[in-house]
Structure 1
Amino acid sequence: MNFPKELPIKKIFKALIPAFISGLIVLFLILFFTPDFKVDYSFTLYSSDGKLLGASAASDGQWRFPQSSKLPEKYREALLTYEDKNFYFHFGIDPLSVFRAAVENVLKGKIISGASTITMQTSRLSDRLSDRLSDRLSDRLSEKKPVRNFKQKLRESFLSLFLELSYSKEDILNLYSSHAPYGGNVVGLEAASWRYFGRGPEDLTWAEAACLAVLPNQPSLVRPGKESEILKEKRDRLLYNLFLQKKIDKETYSLSVAEPVPDKPKALPQKAYHYLEFLKTKSTDQKNISSLDYSLQEIIFEIADHHFKRNLSSGVYNTAVLVLDTETGKTLAYIGNTGLNNADAKNEHVDMIYARRSSGSLLKPFLFAAMLDAGMILPDQLLIDIPTKIAGYTPQNSNYTYSGAVPARKALSYSLNIPFIRALREFTIPAFLDILKRSGFTTFNRSADEYGLPLILGGGEISLYEITNTYRKMMLRAQNKLDEKFPFSSGACRITMDVLTEGNRPEEEAIWQLYAQNQKIAWKTGTSYGNKDAWTIGITPKYSVGVWCGNASGEGRPEITSTKLAAPILFEIFNILPKSDWPEKELKDFEFIKTCADSGYPAGEFCKNTKAVLKPIHAHTQSTCPYCKKVSLSPDGKFQVKANDINELPKIENRFVLPAAAEYFYKQGHPEYKSLPQWLPESTASNAGEFEILFPEDGTSVYIPTELDGSFGALVAEAAHKNPEAVIYWDLDGEYLGSTKSYHQMKIQPLKSGRRGTLKGRHELTLTDNRGNTRKRIFYVLNENL
C-alpha cells in the first residue's frame, strides 16, 4: 500500500508565511485606521433611578455626555429612517445609496448627494480621524459646510470598512449618537436631550426624538426665527415618513407635528452641585449613578433654600443637610450648601458636608455610652452639677444654672455641660479620644493635653458627614445590625438612643413637639462656642439626618443656635420622610441591676428605696451608692447626735444625703428632699462638710465691672450651708464684711487700704459659721488700681 509522502516542513512554512503576513497587515490596518473615540466627556451625576442631577462640561468646554449602552427605541427609529434605512444590511457602504447618489449627481452636474451611511458619519466624528481629516472634521464641528469630493468620499469609505470590522452595529449607533454635533457646544444625544428638552433620551416624545435625529445634519438650526422654521420643516418631514412606514399612528403624527421645536438650549439640572464636585475628586467614572433619591434631594433642597432665605436677615448665610440610609449608609440627599443662584449668598460654593467645624455638644452621647460600658455610670445615676473650676477652666451650663445633682440621662437630654466636664475628667481625655477615633472620626489629630476638657463641649472639630454617620452606626449597633468594629456595646448604644428620644427637653428645645408626629426620633443638638455652628442630628431605624447652619467664613452670630436654626430643618425633613417603628429591646444585651431609687447608683447597704434597672450586660459597675448613710438622731429627730451626746438611745435612720454644695442647688428643684438636721449644739461631732463656698472658686481671677455712674461694682460671693438656721460671718483680707443667715450671698469690694478703689492682685475671703467652722478662698482681681 502506498502512503502519500509527508509534505516537507519548509514547504508548509513557506505556504503559511504569506497568510501570516497578510493577517498582520490586516491587523495593523484595523488597529491603526479604526476610528478612536478617546475624548474627554462631561462629568455627570444621576440619581439612583437614573435621573440627571447635574453635570460639568468636558475639559474642552463641550457638553459631551458619556455614551449610553442602549438607544431609546423612538430615537433609533427616527435616526435610521432619516439617515440610513439600510444600516443593518450594509458593511459601512450602501451600494444602493451610492448608485442613487451617482445618478443624481450626474443628472445635476454637481454633487448634491453623498450617500453617506451612519458608519461613514461616525468615522468622520472620531478623534483619530481628526488627525487625518482635520480640515473636514473641524468644518463639521464648526458647523461649516464640509468639503465634498470623490477622494474624500473614497477615504471615508475605506475607514468605514475598518469601523465595521471593529465594532458591532449597535456600538456604531451608540458612537454616532454620543458624538454627533447638536449646535454650539452640545455634543451627543444625551447632552442634547437634556439641553433642548430638559429630560433624558428615554423620555423623549416622537417629535423630540425626530428633532434630535435631524439636527446633527444642520446643528445651527436651533435658533429663534427662520432657522427654527427650517428645523420644524425637516422634523415634520421625518415624522411624515415615520407615519408612512407605520412606525407611528395618525393621532401620534398629528400631535407630534403640533409640538414646537427648541429655539435655544435649556440650563442643565444642578440638583446636587456640591455632591457632583465631591465625586469629581473621588470617582474616575464620567457617568456616575449615585444613591441619591431624586425626589428627596429636590424636596430637601427646597426646605434648606427656604430656611437659607429666611436666615439672610440675621446674617446667617450657609446651611448643609445630609440624609443617609441608616441600614446601608448610602447617601440619599446631599445639600452641601445653599444660595448658589442667590445674589446675597456668601461662600455658597464651599461644601459644608465635609468642612471641619466645632462639634458643640454632639460628642456627649459617645461619652455617655462609653461610661455605661465602663460601668462608671448608670442611666439614672446622679451626676454632680455645681459651680466647677478645674485647672483654671470654669465651664458653665448653657442656661447658667445648676441642678446640684442630676440623673445622667437628664444631663444628656438637657445637654448639661458641667456634669459632662466632670464625667470626662473621670473617664480621662486620652481614653475618650481613643474611643472617638475607633468610632470612625478622622478629625481629632491633636493630643489630649491640647484638647483638654473643652473637647466634650466643642473643643474639637468634626464634619457633618462623620458625625451623622457615627450616630447612624450607633443606631445600627443598638439593633445588633452593625457588622464593622465599633467601640460601644449594643446595650450601651440602645440606652443612649432611647435617652435621645426622650421628649423631656429644655424649654428652648420643645420645638420637637411641633414636628415629631407619632414617631420616635433620637436627636441631639449642638451649638459651638461663640455661636458659630448650629447642629442637629436625628436618627431613626430607617433614616439618619444631619443639619448644620452657620457661616462658612466662621463668623459668629447671636442667632446661630441649634434650636433656632438647625432643629426646625431636621424635624421638617422627618415630617416628609416615611415613618419607621422604633425597634424592640433585645434583652440579651442587658442585665438587671438593683439600684438606689434616690441616687441611681448600684444599691448599697443603707439605700432605703431601690429599683431594678437595665445596664449593658458586660458593664461591671465600680461603686455603690455614696449618698445613702446611716445617721443617728435625737429621739425627737431634731438634731444629729453622737452616741455619747445624749443619755438615751438615738433614733437610727437611713437617709439620702448630698454634699453641701450639691444639696444647696438640688433642694431648689426638689422640695421633697430632706436635709439632715443640725448637730446637737453641745455635740462634740465635727461639722466638716456642713458648708462650702460656692463662689469664687479657689485661685480664680475676676474682673469687677464698672457701674453706670462710673463707680466700681461689687463681686457677689456665695456659700451654701446645710443648716438653714446657721449664721455665716464674712471677712475679706482681715476686714469684717457682715453676716448672713439662710440665704448666703455677700457683695464684696476689694479695697486698697486708705484709698477707695479696687486693688489688683491677691485677696483672701474667710467664712466662719456660728459653730466655729471655717472656709477660705484665695482669688485675684484683674482691675488696675485706682
Structure 2
Amino acid sequence: MKVLWNLFKKHPKKTIVISILLIVYYFSLPKQLFNDPTSTVVTASNNELLGATIASDGQWRFPELDSVPYKFKQCILQFEDAHFYKHFGFNPVSIGKAFLENRKANRIVRGGSTITQQVIRLSRKNKQRTYFEKFKELVLATRLEFRYSKERILRLYASHAPFGGNVVGLEMAAWRYYGLQPNQLSWAESATLAVLPNAPSLIYPGKNQEQLKKKRNRLLKKLYDKAIIDNLTYELAIEEELPQSPYKLPSFASHFVQEVKKEHEGKKIHSSIQRNIQQQVYMLAKQHYELMRQNEVHNLAVLVLDVHTRKVVAYIGNAPTTSKHQKDVNNVVAPRSTGSTLKPFLYAHMLESGELLPSQLVKDIPTEIAGYTPKNFDLSYDGAVPANEALTRSLNIPAVRMLQRYGLEKFRENLREYDIKHINKSADHYGLSLILGGAEASLWDLCKLFAGYAGTVNHFETVKHRYYTKEFQNPSYLFDEVVNFGKVTAQTNYIDAGAAYLTLNALTEVNRPLTDQAWKYYDSSQKIAWKTGTSFGNKDAWAIGATANYVVGVWVGNSDGEGRPDVTGVGSASPLMFSVFDILPKSEWFLEPYEDEEAVAVCSESGYIALPICPSETKQVTKNGVRATPCPYHIEVLMDKNETYRVNSNCEAIENITAKTYFVLPPLVAYYYKQRNPNYRKLPPFKNGCVPVGENVIDFVFPTKYKSTISLTKGTNGEVNPVILKLTHADPTASIFWYLDDTFIKETEEYHEIALKPEIGEHIIAVIDNLGNEEKRVLIVE
C-alpha cells in the first residue's frame, strides 16, 4: 500500500488514469456473456436425448455443454486456433499475418481471431468486422481469459457457434446432421462440424458439397500430419459421406418434453424416463392406436411409475394422431371422468374402519336414494354379492349403497387427504355419483394413488411395521431428485397396510381381457392388482394396475369428449396396460402385512363375523374388522321331526320339534339372489294350523279379484292414463316390493299405491313385504 501511495504522490494523474482504465477493463465484460434463450432439452435416465423444444427466438440452441468431446476439440483447435492453450486471448502472429494479407487485398480476406476472440464476437452478435471492433474483441478476449478457464471458453464456443440455418451449438448440430450425441461422432463427422462455424452456409443439403468436403478433408489431413489420427483412421474418414438431409429429434416423448418445459423452460433436464422402456411403450401405444381408431377412438395416454422410487419410468401423453383429433393434448394430466376407478379406495377405507369385511355380502337390488337411481353396467341385479366380488366386477349399485353407508362427506375427506388435484369441490356437489364417475381426475393422480397403496404395503415391512407421513407424494420425473416420503410414524395418515393389501389382493381377481384369460397357467405370469373404469357415455376408458414394483395406468378415449360404442376399460384400455406390464421386469407379489391384520372366523355364506350357528372359515381382516357386524342372515328355524315344515309350540308337541339353521336373506334380496344362486334354499312352508298370527297380512284394495280385466283410458291431452294399484298391510311399518311380470317396479312404505301403464295383454302383479309375505294378481289390459 505504501508503494502505491508513493506512486500516487509522484504521478497522481497517471495513477488515476491507469486506475480508471483498470476499473473499466475489469467491468468491460458483462457478467452474463450470453443471454440468448435456449431450447428446453430433456434426456433419459441414461442421458440419451428424449426430445427438445425450439428456443423462444426460433433458434435450435441447446444449453451450454458440460464438456467438449475429445474428437471435436482436436478438430476445432487445429482448424481455428492451434495455439489456443498458449496465448492469452489473442495471437499476435495470426493478427499480423491477417493484417498484411488484408492490406494487400484492400479488403478483409483473412481473420486472425482466436477461439477466445470468436466467443467475444458471438456474444456481441457478430458486429461489423472493422479494425476498431477487432481491437475491442482483443481487449475483451484478454478479460475473458482472466475470468474463465480455457476449457470453459472452449465450451462457450462449442455451445454458441453457428452451424447453419437456425442450428446453434455443437450438441444440436450433432443431432440435426447426424442424429447422434456429440461424443458419438466419428473423426469425419467431428471434422465436418468443426469447419461449419467458419462457413455455416456450406451445410445446406445438395449444395456446396464438394467445397465442404474439401475443407473437411484438409482438416483431416492436418490431423493426420499432426499424428492426432493414424493413417487407417484418416483413409476411412475421408471416405465417409457428408450429411444429406437433416435428422428429426426423437419424438416418442413429446408430451412429456412439453410438460417439463412448463417448469424448466430453457434448461437441460436429466429425467428419470428409461429410454428403452419409453420407446417400447410408445410402439405399443402406436399399435393400440391403430386398432382403436377403427372405432373412431383417436387418443390415449400411458404412465408407468416405479413404486419404490416414485419416479416416472415412461410417459405417453397421447397417441400419434392428427391435429384434427387434438394430438397436442396431454392426456396424462388432463382431467377426465373417473368412472369406477375410485371404488377400490372406498372399499379400502370401509375395510380399515371395520364397516366391511372382504367377502361380506352387500346388497345389489334396485335402489333409489333421494331421486338418484344407479344402474349396473349390464342392467342386472345379484340380490347380494360379496364385497370383493362387487369390486372386481365393478358393480355400481353396491358401490353407491356402500358409499351411502360409509358416508359421502367422510369419503370426500379421504380423497382430500390424497390431494387429487381436480377433485376440488364439496361432497354435496358430487353426491353419491362421486363413486361412479361424477368427479374428474387425471391419469397422473390416479396412478399416484395406486403407487401410494403399493408403497404403503412395501414400506410397512421396510420401516418395521410403521408408516411414512407423506406416502402419497407426487411422483418425480427428475433423475437426481429423491422423493421425500416424510417421517416414520406408528400411525398412518392415509390408509393402513392391512386395508391396502387386502384391497390390492382383491383386485388381482378382476377378470382379465379375453386375450389374457389363461395368465395363471404360465410360469412367466405375475399377479397384478388392477381396476378398470368406464365413464358415462363411453367417453373414457381406464385401466390402472399395480405390482410391488410398478404402476401402469392407461386412458383411452377422444380428447374432445366424444363417446364411442364399445369403449370400455376392459376392452379398450386393459389390453394395452397388460402389454406394458409384459415389457417391464417381473415383480414378486407383496408380502402380506400380518402384523396389521387379524385372523377371525367369518361366515362362509354371508362373509360377516361368524355366529356359533354359522358355517365358518378363518380369514385375515383388518384390525378393526374384528369389531364388524355379526352375521344377520343365519337364523334357527323350528321344524317338524321330518324337517319338512315349519312349526311352533302352539301346533306341535315339543318332542317333535327340531331346530335347524337357515341362511335367510330379505325378500327382495332373496328374489334376485336365488336367480344367480340356485342352491339358495327358501324357508319351508308352515305346517297346516301352524301359521302364526299376522302371516296373511296383505290385502289388495285394487284390484280385489285375483284375475281382473281393465281398459286404460286417455286424458284430454291424448295420453294414456295409468292404472292405480293399491293395497293395505296390517303392519303400518312394513315395506312392500312391487313387481310387474317378475320385474321390480318400486318399493313403498306407509302408503302402498303405485301408478302403472302396462302394455296390452296379460300381466302378473306380485307384491312381497319385508317379512317374505307374498300376494299376486293377474291383470288383463285391453
TM-score by length of 1: 0.84
**Pick from 288, 292, 312: which aligns with 2:293?**
312
Aligned in 2, Cα 1:56/1:780: closer, same or farther, shift over 3 Å? Answer: farther
Task: Supply the AA of the counterpart residue of 1:212.
Answer: L
Match of 1:411 among 390, 394, 397: 390
Name the CA distance, whole Å, in 1 between partners of 2:211 and 2:344. 68
Residues 568-587 of structure 1: pairs in structure 2 closer than 5 A: 568-587=575-594
Deviates more, 1:439-448 or 1:568-577: 439-448
- Aligned-pair distance for 1:762? 7.6
Question: Aligned AA for 1:550?
Answer: G
Deviations 1:549-584 (A, max 9, x none): 001111111121112210110011111111111122
**Secondary structure, in 3 states, of the residue corresponding to 2:85?**
helix
Residue number among 755, 763, 770 corresponding to 2:724 in the alignment: 763
* Conserved 8 A contact 2:541-2:555: yes
Alignment of 1:195-594 (within 5 A): 195-284=176-265, 286-340=267-321, 342=322, 346-480=325-459, 483=468, 484=470, 486-502=493-509, 510=517, 517-594=524-601
Partner of 2:487: none
Looking at structure 1, the residues matched to 34 and 552 of structure 2 have their Cα atoms a distance apart, in angstroms, of: 43
Report the secondary structure of 1:291's partner residue. coil
Letter in 2 for 1:557: R
Structure-1 residue corresponding to 2:620: 614
SS of equivalent to 1:370: helix
Q: Is the 8 A contact 1:321 1:545 kept in 2?
A: yes
Q: Which residue of 2 aligns with 1:184?
A: 165
Question: Within 5 A, what are the aligned runs for 1:62-101?
Answer: 62-101=59-98
Cα separation, partners in 2 of 1:505 and 1:453, compared to 1, 3 Å:
farther
1:183-217 superposed Cα distances (whole Å, 9 cap, x missing partner):
11111111111111111111111111111100010
Aligned equivalents of 1:757 and 1:641: distance in 2? 55
The alpha-carbon deviation at position 635 of structure 1 amounts to 1.8
Within the alignment, does 1:734 sit opposite 2:703 as a pair? Answer: yes
Distance 1:99 1:636, change over 3 A: same
Q: Secondary structure at the match of 1:216?
A: coil
- Match runs of 1:736-755 below 5 Å: 736=705, 738=707, 751-752=712-713
Alpha-carbon displacement from aligned partner over 1:743-777 (angstroms, at most 9, x marks no partner): xxxxx9982389999644683355999xx998665
CA contact 2:532–2:574 (8 Å) conserved in 1: yes
Aligned equivalents of 2:157, 2:404: Cα separation in 1: 68
User: Higher mean Cα deviation, 82-91 or 164-173?
Assistant: 164-173
Matched ranges for 1:30-49 at <5 A: 30-34=26-30, 36-49=33-46
Residues 542, 554 of structure 2: 8 Å contact kept: yes
Q: In the alignment, which residue of structure 2 is the partner of 1:139?
A: none
SS at match of 2:506: helix
1:383: how far off?
1.1
Structure 1 pair 368–749 and aligned structure 2 pair: CA distance change class (3 A): farther
Match of residue 120 from structure 1: 117
* Equivalent in the alignment of 1:602: 609
Q: How far apart are the structure 2 equivalents of 1:514 and 1:389?
A: 43
1:671 corresponds to 2:667: no
Cα distance, 1:782 vs. partner?
A: 8.8
Query: Is the CA contact (8 Å cut-off) linking 1:537 and 1:544 kept in structure 2?
Result: yes
> Residue deviations 1:313-337, cap 9 Å, x none?
2111111111111111111111111
Question: Structure 1 residues 40 and 182, CA, compared in 2 at 3 Å: closer, same or farther?
Answer: same
Structure 2 portions without partners, runs of 5+: 461-466, 472-492, 739-747, 760-781
1:15, distance to aligned residue in structure 2 (A) = 8.8
Instruction: Measure, in 1, the Cα distance between the counterparts of 2:561 and 2:519.
Output: 27
1:224-261 CA-to-partner distances (Å, cap 9, x unmatched) read 44511111111111111111212112222122111111
The residue aligned with 2:22 is 26
Change (3 A) 1:253 1:404: same
SS in 1 for 2:325: coil
Provide the rounded CA distance (Å) in 1 between the counterparts of 2:403 and 2:666.
21
Residues 454-509 of structure 1, C-alpha deviations (whole Å, 9 max, x = no match) = 11111111110000110111011122356225421000000111111126569798
1:661 equivalent to 2:630? Answer no
Give yes or no for contact 2:647–2:687 (8 Å, CA) kept in 1: yes
Q: 1:594 to 1:259 in 2, by over 3 A?
A: same
- 1:633 — aligned with what? 639
Whether 2:166 is the aligned partner of 1:160: answer: no
Q: What is the Cα deviation at residue 285 of structure 1?
A: 5.3
* 8 Å Cα contact 1:516-1:575 kept in structure 2: no
Aligned to 2:174: 193
Secondary structure at 2:55 match in 1:
coil
Letter in structure 1 aligned against 2:70: E
Secondary structure at the residue paired with 1:584? coil
AA partner of residue 308 (structure 2): E
User: Cα distance, 1:107 vs. partner?
Assistant: 6.5
CA contact under 8 A between 1:536 and 1:547: conserved in structure 2? yes
Q: Paired residue for 1:708?
A: none
**Once the 2 structures are TM-superposed, how far is the Cα of residue 151 of structure 1 from its aligned partner?**
3.1
Structure 2: distance between partners of 1:44 and 1:671: 64
How far is the alpha carbon of 1:736 from its aligned partner?
4.8
Change (3 A) 1:383 1:686: farther
3-state DSSP class of the match of 1:320?
strand
Residues 724-744 of structure 1: per-residue CA shift (max 9 Å, x gap): xxxx99x695375749xxxxx
Find the aligned partners of 1:21 and 1:49 in 2 and give their Cα distance: 55
* Residue in structure 2 matching 1:645, options 642, 647, 651: 651
Pick closer, same or farther for the CA change 1:253–1:531 going to 2, 3 Å. same
3-state SS in 2 of match to 1:334: strand
Give the whole-Å Cα distance in 1 for the aligned partners of 2:223 and 2:541.
60
SS at match of 1:53: strand
Pairwise CA distance, 1:27: 4.0
Distance in 1 of aligned mates of 2:612 and 2:27: 90
Q: Deviation per CA, 1:426-468, whole angstroms, max 9, x where unpaired? A: 0011011111111231222222222111111111111100001
Q: Which moved more, 1:113-122 or 1:507-516?
A: 507-516
Count of residues paired in the alignment = 714
Distance apart, 1:674 and its partner CA: 2.2
Q: Which moved more, 1:403-412 or 1:353-362?
A: 403-412
SS in 2 for 1:593: strand
For 1:229 and 1:439, how far apart are their aligned partners in 2?
A: 64
Contact 1:377 1:621 in 2 (8 A): no
CA contact (8 A) 2:712 2:723 kept: no
CA contact (8 A) 1:532 1:557 kept: yes
Pair 370,478 (structure 1): closer, same or farther in 2 beyond 3 Å: same
CA separation of 1:7 and 1:90: change in aligned 2, threshold 3 A: closer
- Distance of 1:271 and 1:753 partners within structure 2: 66
Task: Give the CA deviation at 1:19.
Answer: 7.0
**Distance verdict in 2 for CA 1:566–1:94, change over 3 Å:** same
Q: 1:646 to 1:439 in 2, by over 3 A?
A: same
Deviation of residue 677 (structure 1)? 0.4
Supply the distance in 2 between the matched residues of 1:11 and 1:277 (Cα, whole angstroms).
Answer: 64
